[in-house]
Amino acid sequence: MSIQTRAAIAPGNGEPLIVDEIQVRSPGPNEVLVEMKASGLCHTDLSAMEGKFPVRLPAVLGHEGAGVVVECGQGITSVKPGDPVILNNTAHCGTCPPCLSKKTGYCDSMSLDARSPSPFTWRGEPLGRMGPSASFSAHTIIDPSRLTRIDPAISFETASLVPCGVMTGFGAVNNVAKVEPGSKVLVFGMGSIGLNVLQACKLAGASVIVALDTNPAKESVAREFGATDFINPADDAVPLDKRIKALLGGYADHAFDCVGHPAIVKQAVGLVSPYWGVMVAVGIAPVTEQITLPAATFYFGRSIRGTFIGDCNPVIDTPKILDHYHKGRLAIDRLITHRISLEEINSGFDLMKSGQAIRTVVIF
């Protein structure tokens, strides 16, 4: 048996989303049917729409979501109908080698996400999904291990931002770079991810937090989220490396590219200490891009790290983030600048492309 619901569908590369009726099958064993209440719009969704991120279209996109459990498949005891939940992008089965290693937030089950059968049908044909959440559908099917029950007191729109924007920034700082008190850090790109990196660096005790963005209007919000300094790289009266080194008195300890641009990666690598500096590529560059670095980059102890959702383990990190939020240490509500209906979703991506929005949230 299936139910009929509404979803925003990416029909093909470069095309706007189509909001239409789709069918969602009933949950099977180890599956849960969730009614979405809120979904954030992330730049990765835009990249998928534009063909810069590998997703087989047509598909339901969306990976920042919160909702309510409607129906559980056979044998599920971890959640029950009526539970408010966050839908996590990362997994933790607890039995695979990565999970048992305790060295990473990755789980072998995540490698199967792209090959897992979709629960959706559209116009009589199977309809794909970008990831397990598929939060641009008003109803979705997901493994219960991907769900975190939440306090009903937290709003769904706030909770929806945790599994990507907030978690990626928080994890990049704490799990990947391991920023220490007194560190000097550079953060490129003041979108939602960059702002979350800023506030996580502040929470970690960094002493100098430099925000970099070519939009000077981003300075005020960057400082609100923890930046001690702001630099516009487009202002080239003095070369950027000289401005950074004059400000810091030398190299940075850590740098975060939250844009996903190969040129920024190369630039950021050259600004961290050649002996202990860590550069983290947080933003996702188009899959066809190449990154070229000088051989001297690797002569000493400098390291370059990639990350997916901040290397977070949702069993540990989602509750930790929510605890920081409840205690006022992490700002999430302030990230939401626009609230729209599902039918307005394309206008939400227009806001993103114009730089007017930090995070736009679809309210179902």
Tell me whether residue 322 is in a domain: no
> 100-109, 265-274, 308-317: which has the minimum mean pLDDT?
100-109
Distance CA 184, CA 220 (A): 20
Residue 253's CATH number: 3.40.50.720
Tell me whether residue 357 is in a domain: yes
Q: What is the pLDDT of residue 355?
A: 87
Distance CA 221, CA 212 (A): 12
Tell me whether residue 53 is in a domain: yes
Look at residues 137, 127, 135, 130 and name the one whose alpha carbon lies nearest to residue 114: 130
103 and 188 in a single domain? The answer is no
- Using one digit for the tens of pLDDT, what is the confidence trace for 106-156? 898 888 787 788 999 999 999 999 989 999 999 999 999 999 999 999 999
Rg of the chain over CA atoms, in angstroms?
A: 20
The two structure tokens encoding residue 268: 């950021």
Tell me whether residue 314 is in a domain: no
Tell me whether residue 326 is in a domain: no
180 and 157 in a single domain? The answer is no
The mean pLDDT value for 55-81 works out to: 95
The mean pLDDT value for 192-208 works out to: 98
> 269-273, 280-284, 333-337: which has the minimum mean pLDDT?
280-284
99 and 234 in a single domain? The answer is no
pLDDT at 296 over 80: yes
224 and 258 in a single domain? The answer is yes
130 and 261 in a single domain? The answer is no
135 and 185 in a single domain? The answer is no
145 and 180 in a single domain? The answer is no
Tell me whether residue 323 is in a domain: no
- Using one digit for the tens of pLDDT, what is the confidence trace for 31-46? 999 999 999 999 999 9
Secondary structure E strands in 249-308: 254-257, 278-281, 303-306
pLDDT at 327 over 80: yes
| 0.75 surpassed by pTM | yes
* ω into 58 cis (within 30 of 0): yes
Tell me whether residue 149 is in a domain: yes
Q: What is the pLDDT of residue 181?
A: 98
Distance CA 136, CA 7 (A): 6
The mean pLDDT value for 76-96 works out to: 93
Task: Determine the structural domain holding residue 302 and report its residue range.
Answer: 168-307
279 and 354 in a single domain? The answer is no
25 and 151 in a single domain? The answer is yes
The three-state secondary structure class of 86 is: strand
pLDDT at 205 over 80: yes
Q: What angle do CA 342, 344, 345 make, to 5 degrees?
A: 70
The last residue of one of the domains, among 262, 290, 307, is 307
222 and 139 in a single domain? The answer is no
Residue 58's CATH number: 3.90.180.10
Give the burial string for 317-354 (b: 16+ CB within 10 Å, else e): bbebbbebbeeeebbbeebbebebebebbeebbebbee
Distance CA 223, CA 195 (A): 9
173 and 155 in a single domain? The answer is no
Q: How many independent structural domains does the chain possess?
A: 2
243 and 270 in a single domain? The answer is yes
Number of alpha carbons in the 13 Å side-chain half-sphere of residue 84: 14
Instruction: Sort residue 166 into left (φ over 0), alpha (ψ -120 to 50) or beta.
Output: alpha
Tell me whether residue 201 is in a domain: yes
The mean pLDDT value for 301-309 works out to: 94
Using CB atoms within 10 Å of the CB of residue 211, give its burial: 0 to 12 exposed, 13 to 18 middle, 19+ buried: buried
Confidence of residue 284 (pLDDT cuts 50, 70, 90): confident
